[in-house]
Structure formats: C-alpha cells, structure tokens
Amino acid sequence: MSTSNREAFYLKHEDELTKEKANITRRKNTIGWTRVGVFALGLWGVVTVWPETGSALLIGIAAIAIFLALLNYSMRLQDQVNMLSALIRIHQEEREIGNHRFSNRYNGDNLAPRQHEYSADLDIFGRASLFQYIHRTTSEQGHRHFASWLLSPAPNAAIKARQKAALELSNEPGWGIHYQAIGQQEPVGRSIEEKLGLWLSKSPEFFPKTGWKLLAAIFPFISLACLVMHIAGLMSAPLFYLLVLVFVVIAFSITKMVIPQYQALDKIVPQLNTLSGKLRWIESSSFSADQLVTLKQQLHPAGKPAASASITGLRKILDRFDYRLNPLVFLPLNTFLLWDLRQVLSLEKWKSVHSADIGKWFETMAEMEALNSIGRLAFNHPGWTFPVLTEEQGDYSGASIGHPLIPESTRVNNDFSTSGKPAIALITGSNMAGKSTFLRSIGVNQVLAMCGAPVCASTLTVSNMRIMSSMRIADNLEENASTFYAELSKLKSIIESVNRFEPVFLLLDEILRGTNSHDRHTGSRALVMQLIRHNACGMLATHDLALTSLVEDYPKAIRNYHFDVSVSGEELYFDYRLKEGVCKSMNASILMKKIGIEL
C-alpha cells in the first residue's frame, strides 16, 4: 500500500465510522424521546385509573420496566457512540501522523533515562521523537514496555518473533485500531496495578475462616425470618425493632472491618473495564504468529475462566460494594443480608483463585500494545522493510537508508555497508552537509531493528549490536560537570564496553570538541587507533581532515566517506549524498561571512 493509498484507507474508514456514529446518535436520541413518552403515558395512566390501586400499580410497574429497558438500551448505544468516537479520532490522528504532524502526542519524556548510551543523542523520547512518532500504546504499562524495547536490544529469537507478529498485525490494521480504541476509553494506569498489588500482598481476613462463611449463610435466614414474622403479626414491634438494632450493630461492625479492602480497590472499576475489554479482544481473535498465539493462550489457562471473564467477575463484586453509595438500598441489604460480608467473602475468594494471574494480564496487555505499535508502523510504511539478522560480527549493510522522522518528500536516503571487526568509518564534510543526520539515521534504524520493528530502508542486514553514541553533549550544573568532562565520561563508558568486547556499534560526532585543536587531534587519533586495536566497529564524523590519513596505516579497518557542498557565489547547495573518500570542499568561511564576520 502506497502512502496515498494509506491516506485513502484512513479517510475512507473515517467517513464510514462518522456515518455510523451519526445513525446511532439519531437512534439514541429517538430512544431518549421514547423514554420521555413512556414516562408521560405511565403517569397519565396511573392518574386516569386512580384510585383503583391494583390497576394503577400494574400500569406504574409496566411503565417503569419499559423505561428501565429503554434506559439500558440507550446506555449500550452510548457505549457504541463512545467507541466510534475513539475510532474516528485514531483515523484522524493517523492521517496527521502521516503528514508528520504529531508533536501533540504523548512523547514519553518522563520515560527517558537520565543517563543512557544513545537515548538523548538519537531523540528516542521527547518532542518530535521516535517514541512520539511510532507508539500506539494507551496504558502506562504499554508506554513503559515499549520504551524498554527502544532502550535495549532484544535477543535475535525475540526480534524474529516480534517481526512475525508485527507483520501479521500490519495485515489487519482494523484489529489494531480497535484494540487501541478500547484502551483510549479509560486508559489503564500504574495506579490500578499498584492498588491490586498492595491488596494481593495482604493476607485474607475472612474467606478462609469457616465462622465467617457460616455467619454469612445463617444470618440472612434469621433476619428475614424476623421480618416475615413481624409483617405477619407474629412478632411485636418493640421486639422486632430491638432485633433490628442488634442486626445493625452486627452488620456495621463487620462493615468497619471490611472498609479497608473496599478503600484499597476504590475507583478502579473504569480501568478494569478497559483491561477486560482489551483482553477480551485478544481472546476473541485468531492468530497465526507464535508470539500472538502465546499471548492469547496465556489469557485462558487450563482449568480457569478466561482473563476477561475473571476481571468482569471482580468488577461485578466491586459494583455490588458500591451499593453503599445509595443508602436507601444499602441500609436494608446490609442490615438483613450482611451485604458487605458477602461481598468481601466473594472478593477474597476471587483473590485466592487469581492472585498469580493479575501480573500476567497486565504484561499481556502491554506486550500487545507494543506489538501493535510496530505493526502499525509496518502498515503505514509499506516501503520500509524488516531487517535480516546475521550472526556475523559488526555487520550493517543497507540500501536507501533514511531517517524515519524526516518526511518522505524531503528525506534523502543513502546506501551504507560495513562488516567484520575492526571497522571504523570516518565521515568528513561541510557544515550542515548531513553528517550528524546520517549518523542518527544509522543509529535510529539499528534501534528499530533491535526491537523487532521495520526500518526506514529498502534492505538492511544487521548484527545484533547495541548502539553507543557520543553526539549531543551538555554540561551539568547540578553535578558541576563541564561539557568536556561530560563527554569524557561518555567516552570512558564506550572504551570500557569496547575493552570488554561487547557487541556495540559506535556513533561518534565531533569528539573532544571542548578542548584545543592540538589536543583534540591527538586525542581523537589515539582513540581511533585504540578502537581498532580492540576490534571495535562504528562511525566517526569529524572536521579534522588529518584523521583521514589513518587509512594509510589501517587500510582494512578504516574507510573514508564524506558529504560535500556545491558553492555558487555565496550560496550553498547540499545534496546530502554519502560519497566515498575525503571531503574537499568546506563552507565555514562562507557561513561566517553571512553572519557578519569580516574575513
């Protein structure tokens, strides 16, 4: 599917959803007016037949029953309207993202590690970041799970499994859009998982004890028998009211003991509905990719009900707890039936059955959200490819490699290939010619490859390597660290990883820029030679043309590349094409003249 066809896909489905929403909204409005009519007719009927109480009661009950049935139907229609609204928003958002207007989306800035090997250099999080562009996660768990994929390479087996799952999801975009829409209704947060975790960590107080079970079974018979006897005139009012007082004391003494559990799980029902809906959507689907099949199977283990049904059971218990919000209903229920005791017994029984499952349910939801993100990326970019993984060391070979965050209309792609160790690509070039962008293109695509996502290239074969970069260095006033010291700290980490022969791919941009030119050249030359001695691989962008002479000493380990510029008068023209060899044209003097420096 081309870019224009993708745009047409979202536009077509958005139009269909908008029409469906309008139809259901009209039906809902009709039901609303019908409810008003039923209420008016019921009231008129009761007034007309009064004082025939039997007929009036019959008409009133019938009117109330019809009214409640219509109300229930109207609420179901509203749920459909809410879902359609979410689906429409997603289609609109996808068209905006396709036009590279996505800066208003959640950017994961709070997920960015304070210190990381490449996150800041490659714009993984924050405004106009990779995460902001490609995530389709809706829960906090999903955000964090997908962020973890972008922050560290997965093993090859996991990458291949994710690729197959993402490819299958990319062929069913409607499935993933619906899954995302469910999550947007009431996004699941970490608070619900923390509340459930805290509740699960506490020992049950009621369920395992036989006495509480017997009390819950016997008490209603006694209390209701007293009520029937009083109504039948077999028990005097003073005795009955005295017994009711005893019932109240017993019931609300138990309520006082139950309240902490109720408060521990207060206000989680809306998010439980979302979690249940997302898991039900997975359970009801058919998959062929191994990872998707495994996720589905985890939701319905042998001998237990499906996860969505279990969560619905918990929600119903909590809904019954909420009867306390209506005193006219709760007071008689608790007084005569020990309502709170019955619910807490059900709650703790649920805990005993599902305590080991809850964590898996959240993990499954988050995993599917992450897979849905890379599946949508594959659908939206049919010209991209899933990379081939190789067991060879230091392999990075691709054609038409581009930066994913640059619009296709302005993006310039380049071919690049390196294999084996040691291998250092020295890249020289004019200012603004594209050196840093190219390094980031290489790095970001390696990050995508290592998380199982498609890459912005026509072909790409890579080894399993972790990116380590030194590109965007800033001082740290809080830690009293200068820019130069901050860069040295980063280079120290790189050297240590290389010395341990870890599988890393280095991206170094204008290193040691915070010192004088002599020390900078001496240090850069020494570092390149040290990296070669320790079988490192990577790229170094530099303005220091003297470094390029190292190819004479290490012809098998070093290759020179460059980006150049064409000059016409005082105008500069860039083609952003990677070429072999050393750059011969520089533009700094022209740029300095343009800002008013008299040379």
Sign of CA dihedral 432, 436, 442, 445: negative
Per-residue pLDDT for 58 more than 90? no
CATH of 388-594, one of 3.30.70.20, 3.30.1550.10, 3.50.50.100, 3.40.50.300: 3.40.50.300
More confident residue, 489 or 596: 489
For the chain, domain boundaries: 1-99, 190-367, 388-594
**pLDDT for position 478:** 47
Q: How many CA within 13 A on the CB side of residue 181?
A: 24
**pLDDT for position 296:** 94
Give the contacts of 519 (CB within 8 A, at least 6 positions apart): 512
For 284, counting Cβ atoms within 10 Å of its Cβ (0-12 exposed, 13-18 middle, 19+ buried), the class is exposed
**pLDDT for position 411:** 93
The sheet with strand 396-401 has its strands ordered as 388-390, 459-463, 396-401, 414-418
Count the Cβ atoms, other than its own, within 10 Å of residue 31.
17
Q: What is the mean pLDDT of the chain?
A: 90
Residue with token string 């060899």 = 581
Q: What is the chain's alpha carbon radius of gyration, rounded to the nearest angstrom?
A: 33
Alpha carbon distance 205, 461 (integer Å): 58
Cα 148 to Cα 59, 141, 373, 419, distances in angstroms: 62, 11, 13, 27
Contact status, residue 420 vs residue 39, Cβ threshold 8 Å: no
Per-residue pLDDT for 221 more than 70? yes
> Residue 233 phi/psi, 5° resolution?
80, 15
Count the Cβ atoms, other than its own, within 10 Å of residue 165.
27
Alpha carbon distance 278, 176 (integer Å): 11
DSSP string, 280-335: HHHHT----SHHHHHHHHHTS-TTS--HHHHHHHHHHHHHHHGGGGSHHHHHHHHH
Q: What is the dihedral of CA 550, 555, 558, 559, to 10 degrees?
A: 110
Give the contacts of 231 (CB within 8 A, at least 6 positions apart): none
Tokens of 594: 């343009």
Per-residue pLDDT for 136 more than 90? yes
pLDDT in tens, 261-300: 888 888 899 999 999 999 999 999 999 999 999 999 999 8
Mean pLDDT for the stretch of residues 399-411: 94
β-strand partners of 427: 541, 561
Alpha carbon distance 89, 136 (integer Å): 13
Residue with token string 């020494």 = 526
Q: How many CA within 13 A on the CB side of residue 331?
A: 5
3-state secondary structure of 174: helix
Alpha carbon distance 167, 162 (integer Å): 8
For 546, counting Cβ atoms within 10 Å of its Cβ (0-12 exposed, 13-18 middle, 19+ buried), the class is exposed
**pLDDT for position 377:** 97
> Residue 320 phi/psi, 5° resolution?
-70, -35
Q: Sorting pLDDT into bands at 50, 70 and 90, what band is 215?
A: very high
Mean pLDDT for the stretch of residues 153-182: 96
Tokens of 52: 């025939």
pLDDT in tens, 293-342: 999 999 988 778 899 999 999 999 999 998 888 888 899 899 999 999 99
> Comparing C-alpha atoms, which of 479, 433, 455, 465 is closest to residue 579?
433
pLDDT in tens, 479-528: 545 677 777 888 899 999 999 999 999 999 988 877 778 888 888 899 99
